[in-house]
């Protein structure tokens, strides 16, 4: 059963400027594994985290670093969650997430489906 769906888009250039202007934001938004990625990949991961929050009803109190986007050797993205995000997902009965990422023409996007 689908519990929630989230979608988000990010202007990559604007996102890059935001990270340049506020360097501490990179640590607040991304795990150590994610921080070294290129700006388009970071923007797509930020979009995925926003979409994830939306799929869970966008409650206050979730930490960005309690969710991480990983990709398999074949390139398929998935979400690894813990802490505050895992708690919210468990409260809603979510046991599976589906995620799709894209970045092209200066825009990064993501869709997340929460399933229980």
Are residues 13 and 40 in contact, defined by beta-carbon separation less than 8 angstroms? Answer: no
Output the CATH code of domain 2-115.
3.90.470.20
| DSSP string across 90-102 | HHHT--EEEEEEE
Query: Digits of tens for pLDDT over the chain (116 positions)?
Result: 999 999 999 999 999 999 999 999 999 999 999 999 999 999 999 999 999 999 999 988 999 999 999 999 999 999 999 999 999 999 999 999 999 999 999 999 999 999 99
Torsion of CA 81, 85, 90, 94, to 10 degrees: -70
DSSP state of 24: H
How much is the pTM?
0.94
């Amino acid at each position: 059963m689908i519990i929630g769906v989230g979608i988000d888009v990010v202007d990559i250039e604007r996102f890059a400027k935001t990270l340049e202007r506020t360097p501490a934001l990179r640590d607040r938004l991304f795990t150590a594994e994610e921080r070294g990625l290129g700006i388009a990949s970071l923007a797509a991961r930020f979009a995925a985290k926003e979409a994830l929050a939306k799929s869970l009803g966008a409650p206050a109190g979730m930490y960005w670093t309690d969710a991480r986007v990983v990709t398999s050797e074949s390139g398929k993205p998935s979400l690894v969650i813990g802490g505050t995000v895992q708690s919210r997902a468990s409260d809603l009965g979510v046991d599976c997430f589906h995620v799709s990422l894209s970045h092209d023409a200066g825009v990064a996007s993501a869709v997340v489906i929460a399933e229980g």
